Amino acid sequence: MSRSAKEEIKPSQIPTRDVYKHAVSCSAVAFAEATCRFTIRSARGVVADFGEKVAKQSTGLLDLARCSEKNSERDAHRVMDSHGLGLPIPMTKLEVQISELDMQILRLRDWMQYILEHNCFHMMCGLMAPDTQRESAILSGFWSRYRQQNPAHPIYAMAERGELHLAQTVPIVCHGDEGRGAKRQHLYGGEFPWAAW
């Protein structure tokens, strides 16, 4: 049985500037306006749950919570630029058959490269700081429990052949959703949350 987020998170666990910089605000840097709106709403939720005093510990969080949803893209970018919260993850043009379509994406490979190069692997295990033993225990525990649900998953055969180590393998869930954006245009959003925590 899981507890509510309010019960699990203590004020001392609120993301610091580095965690906030790497994990929360950067999501709005390159995504659509709907994501900036979501980021603003999330910042407001943190401020409402923990108060302004605690929220001040995360650089830019209060400023982001005060942004207008009407101009979410512009305002969120201004806050992130003023606090140096953007990440150097490149946008990549998605090659598609329609020549007049220019779709820019963030590749999961580029995110992973950034995370590994900047010693942020621990964040994929839900930790605030690097701790190799805890990371391994969390990942091993996840794969052990998941094996009970899906024992035929190919990852277990790969591990038995020595192709990967489950204690160093981060489970990622692919989630996508459709909706309508401005002027009733179709919009698709995708995310890849870490499944281990």
Q: Is 61 inside any structural domain?
A: yes
Domain hosting 7: range is 1-87
| Overall number of domains in the chain | 2
Q: Is 164 inside any structural domain?
A: yes
The whole model's pTM is what?
Answer: 0.58
Q: Is 47 inside any structural domain?
A: yes
Ordered per-residue pLDDT tens for the chain, 197 residues: 333 333 333 444 444 433 333 333 333 333 334 488 888 998 999 999 999 998 888 888 999 999 999 999 899 989 988 998 888 888 888 887 776 777 788 888 998 899 989 999 998 888 999 999 999 999 999 999 999 999 999 999 999 999 999 999 999 887 777 777 666 776 666 666 666 65
Q: Is 46 inside any structural domain?
A: yes
- Alpha-carbon distance 197 to 139, whole Å? 9
Q: Is 20 inside any structural domain?
A: yes
If asked whether residues 83 and 5 sit together in one domain, one would say: yes
